[in-house]
Amino acid sequence: MSSPADLTLAEAAAALRAGALSARELLQATLDRALLTEAELHAFLTIDHERARAAADAADEVLARGETTGPLHGIPVAVKDNMVTAGVETTAGSQILAGYIPPYDATAVTALKRAGAVIVGKTNLDEFAMGSSTENSGYGPSANPWDTGRVPGGSSGGSAAAVAAGSAMIALGSDTGGSIRQPAALCGVVGMKPTYGLVSRYGLIAFASSLDQIGPISRTVEDAVTTLEVIAGHDPLDATSYRGEYPQYRSSLERGVAGLRVGVVTELAGEGISPDVLSACRSVVDSLAEAGATISEVSLPSMEYALSAYYLIAPAECSANLARFDGVRYGLRVEGATVEEMTARTRAAGFGPEVTRRILLGTYALSAGYYDAFYGQAQKVRTLVIQDFTKAYEGVDVLVSPTSPMTAFELGSRTEDPLSMYLVDVCTIPSNLAGAPSISVPVALDVASLPIGFQIMAPALGEEVLFRVAAEVERASGWNDRRPPLVEADHGV
């Protein structure tokens, strides 16, 4: 590799401990990469040069004593801009929060800092994490480093693009209906959604509280494990935080898949999936069989209704969560003659069209006379999804499918058709409805040389078997040395 920016987290951590690389040199390499790529990618909303350099220098002082503060010591990390960061503007990709400087860190951000991470900056996203392409950002879209005329996915598109390009070694994203896994698939990196409650949501600006979950985006499965072990843990500040034991997942990475039962989801392996994606995923399944796994087809009948249920439940929760953005306490304020007029003007000016659409949809679904017909029915479907998963896991250890039904699509190609954009999440949404863990691992390129992601799903708290299978998929794909053309062609990798 020509630059430290292209190391994995594990490689960089080893080089730092050995004294072959300083934290300041590592940070500078990632900042240099951002300088070269940001004009085309717009992965970041804020690059926090001053604080990052101070943190890197402090990390080097500790290293000089032969010590480290944790597994992320000196590692440059990016954070999706819907997680509050003390003293750094946090906008959630919305103009309604332009200029908002939080006085505290999200629990996940605090965990990163305690582990020694160097926070490079805040990444771009679809406004309030509502979208599948990062085109809904109030600050302009991000681009895909594999083809800058295409989307990076969403809503954590900035985080995925930054990791793929090397302007961050790892990143945090949030996943409400696929917003970590889908951009990871489109950008050729690893993206993991933990079990609901495994990572604290305190300090995450809420979209849909029963679905939102913070998780890692990284270049390798091992790096995802390292990051998850840092940010997972019970948090008394989050009432939904898991209170049980948090096992170490690293031991599962070398165990292989011999004897494991892998179920291929029938409803996510046919119509509506790109032929290139299907072919790549079938090859991965074949490799799992060769490695000793038992393969079977599994039907989840409720998948047919999961997308529709999600787009009632998530907007209903967002309409309640976003009521707090009223122009009174923080963020944008557009003056009016009355409080009601001021609030209406502020929200009209501050919210983009997709957020407005979802607020209206959610408010309608919760309104008198429609609650039972829409929101109530959607919750019943959610129960069916959970029951289907529970029944499936009686016969298999993990379920697999494509992460996205297609590879990265052209910027602007779906913005005028919300339904076609929503369909991009058809493979990822079920895990959110079930509250279960899921991971996307890059496995191949399509005919247009765009990344294809392979999704592995496991039962709630099944992260150990999830990583076990993911590591085998990664080994079989031989993906890890691949870098986007934007990096290879322009920057000498």
Alpha-carbon radius of gyration of the chain: 21
In this structure, what are the phi and psi dihedrals at residue 402, rounded to the nearest 5 degrees? -60, 155
User: Any catalytic annotation for residue 179?
Assistant: yes
Which of 133, 155, 167, 218 is labelled catalytic? 155
User: Any catalytic annotation for residue 252?
Assistant: no
* Structural contact between residues 210 and 251, judged by C-beta atoms closer than 8 angstroms: no
Helix (H) or strand (E) holding 294: strand 294-298
- Amino acid in position 286: D
Closest to 462 in 3D by CA, of 438, 434, 430, 486: 438
- DSSP for 368-385, written as a single string: TTTTIIIIIHHHHHHHHH
In this structure, what are the phi and psi dihedrals at residue 280, rounded to the nearest 5 degrees? -65, -40
Spatial separation of the C-alpha atoms in residues 166 and 1, rounded to whole Å: 12
3-state DSSP assignment of residue 78: strand
Which of 3, 132, 156, 179 is labelled catalytic? 179
For the CA atoms of 63, 65, 66, 67, what is the dihedral angle to 10 degrees?
-70
User: Any catalytic annotation for residue 296?
Assistant: no
Which of 3, 80, 156, 319 is labelled catalytic? 80
- Buried residues in 352-381 as b, exposed as e (16+ CB within 10 A): bebbeebbebbbbbbeeeeeeebbebbeeb
Residue owning tokens 């299907």 = 278
Q: Any idea which residues carry the catalytic annotation?
A: 80, 155, 179
